Amino acid sequence: MTRSPAVPGGTLVLDSEGLAKAVLRDRTVTGWLALARADDLRVVTSAATLVEVVHPRINRPALEWTLSRLVVEPVSEPIARHAAALLAEAGLHGHKYAIDAILSATALAAPSPATILTSDPEDLIALCGRRATVIKI
């Protein structure tokens, strides 16, 4: 994989689609994970993301193997408060944006710079602004 201008530099963050594609060994996500490993970067997701990605048809052994290779960050009170503040700043609210806000707060609390792999760049850009690089996968 050729490095793009938005190469991860501190923490690579996976949203639910990023995690699901990692489980499926998607070529693009696998490339990002290989770059992160080569650069000894943290790869994280939020514990809340697991709620979105786990479903009856997911390959559980593949999910568990993937999770063993990254850090699942807990949803602490400070993360929840920061997520609520991000929602307020962006003029968003409700369950539709809650997990994206938690993931955004998790990314912004991680060693920077943070790069987020997502299928939903618009919402994450609204929540993170220029404080994180958001890559559509």
Residue 5 falls inside a structural domain? no
pLDDT digits (tens, 9 = 90+) for 29-87: 999 999 999 998 999 999 999 999 999 999 999 999 999 999 999 999 999 999 999 99
- How many domains does the chain divide into? 1
> Is 57:86 a contact under the CB 8 Å cutoff?
no
Beta bridge partners of 46: 73
Q: Is the pTM of this model over 0.85?
A: yes
> Is 127:92 a contact under the CB 8 Å cutoff?
yes
Per-residue pLDDT at 93 exceeds 70: yes
Residue 129 falls inside a structural domain? yes
Per-residue pLDDT at 2 exceeds 50: no
Residue 1 falls inside a structural domain? no
> Is 60:33 a contact under the CB 8 Å cutoff?
no
Residue 20 falls inside a structural domain? yes
Report DSSP state, residue 57: T
Residue 36 falls inside a structural domain? yes
pLDDT digits (tens, 9 = 90+) for 113-127: 999 999 989 999 999
Domain that holds residue 40: 11-136
Residue 123 falls inside a structural domain? yes
Residue 2 falls inside a structural domain? no
Q: What is the CATH number of the domain that holds 124?
A: 3.40.50.1010
